[in-house]
Amino acid sequence: MDERITEYRDAVYEQVVKVGKSLGNVTRLQLLNILAQGPKTVEVLASTVGLSVATVSRNLQILKQINLVAIEREKNFVTYRLNSERVKQLVTLLVDVCEETLPEMTILEKTLAQETGAPEALTGDALKTKLIADDVCLIDLRPADEFASQHLPGARNVPYDQLDQRLAELPKAKEVVVYCRGRLCAYANVASQKLQAAGFKVATFNQSVWEWSRVMTETEQDEASFLTARPNGGIL
């Protein structure tokens, strides 16, 4: 084999391995999943994952070195954010692959659902149908800053740590749908258990806000393509 080809092949694989190595760590994956919800300071990240500021800073520097995260400075504040939408895609794809290839992943998800008595999670299309019909109360369990950054249409913010104190705000005449940070987060399932115990009809949506946005964008594009392909713009 030509030496130039071998050198190039080995060099580019080494670059890919750098990203792979950075992802092979529970703390760094947690940080990426949290930053997918919106920018945060290192102090907030440390509090969220339950680790020291020093430990979180060290892991953020590793992610920054390979440009998975970036920093923003404003006066005396430094916040971290994902460097691009591609990083969200990467984390989501990792979860997809785990669900498809690792039986243990599916077992963990099913066990959590059984232990909390959570109903089968809604698909994006099923949730969209319910929202259009306006027959659900959609609850975002994430902290207020993440809700402000981006949330599902029509959702109201009731952070998980406030849920017990704010049950009276929720309507029992409608089905309550809860969601949080996605499939790597257990809050929606645990919250559904609390709500069912309080007499609410509950459903869960276990995808992230970004996953919802992606699915809805793809659906809209498919619908637009379908209508464009039909005579008279799809009008029968």
Q: Would the pLDDT of 106 be above 70?
A: yes
Instruction: Work out the percent of the chain whose per-residue pLDDT is above 90.
Output: 72
* Structural domains of the chain, with CATH: 3-87 (1.10.10.10), 102-217 (3.40.250.10)
pLDDT of residue 224: 44
pLDDT of residue 133: 87
Q: Would the pLDDT of 229 be above 50?
A: no
Contact 187, 160 (CB under 8 A): yes
- Phi and psi dihedrals of 24, rounded to 5? -80, 50
Annotated active-site residue 98? The verdict is: no
pLDDT of residue 220: 56
Determine which helix (DSSP H) or strand (DSSP E) holds 78, and give its type and residue range.
Answer: strand 77-82
Q: Would the pLDDT of 233 be above 70?
A: no
Determine which helix (DSSP H) or strand (DSSP E) holds 69, and give its type and residue range.
Answer: strand 69-74
Amino acid 22 reads S
Nearest residue to 212 via CA among 188, 185, 181:
181
The structure's pTM equals: 0.85
**Residue 231, both tokens:** 């005579």
pLDDT of residue 1: 67
Q: Would the pLDDT of 231 be above 60?
A: no
Mean pLDDT of the chain: 88
Determine which helix (DSSP H) or strand (DSSP E) holds 99, and give its type and residue range.
Answer: helix 85-101
